[in-house]
Amino acid sequence: MAEEEPHAIRIHLDRLLAERGMTLTELSAQVGITVVNLSVLKNERAKAIRFSTLSRICEVLRCQPGDLITYDGSVPPP
């Protein structure tokens, strides 16, 4: 299996969940995607996210996409 390419995108799902006193399981039920898929996103192993999923997460967490996803320019290119 090939090694994953490093990327400079950071996911802040843990912080947003903690700020809202919500668990991944609760978010999963409200967003309508599996805990496993949310865990992949939370642990920065996702290779993509659908805009419909991003929209639903932002709706449930009452946040903007930039609150959930940021770019870390300090990561060197591959």
Instruction: Tell me the two tokens of residue 35.
Output: 């805990």
Q: How much is the CA Rg of the chain, to the nearest whole Å?
A: 13
What pLDDT, on the 0 to 100 scale, is given for residue 4? 63
Q: Give the pLDDT confidence of 1-42 residue by residue, as tens digits.
A: 455 667 789 999 999 999 999 999 999 999 999 999 999 999
Enumerate residues 6+ apart whose C-beta is below 8 A from 19.
Answer: none
Q: Give the pLDDT confidence of 40-65 residue by residue, as tens digits.
A: 999 999 999 999 999 999 999 999 99
Whether the Cβ atoms of residue 20 and residue 61 lie closer than 8 Å to each other:
yes
* Residue with more model confidence, 78 or 69: 69
pTM, two decimals, is 0.85
**Strand, helix or coil for residue 38:** helix
Measure the CA–CA gap between 7 and 75, rounded to whole angstroms: 7
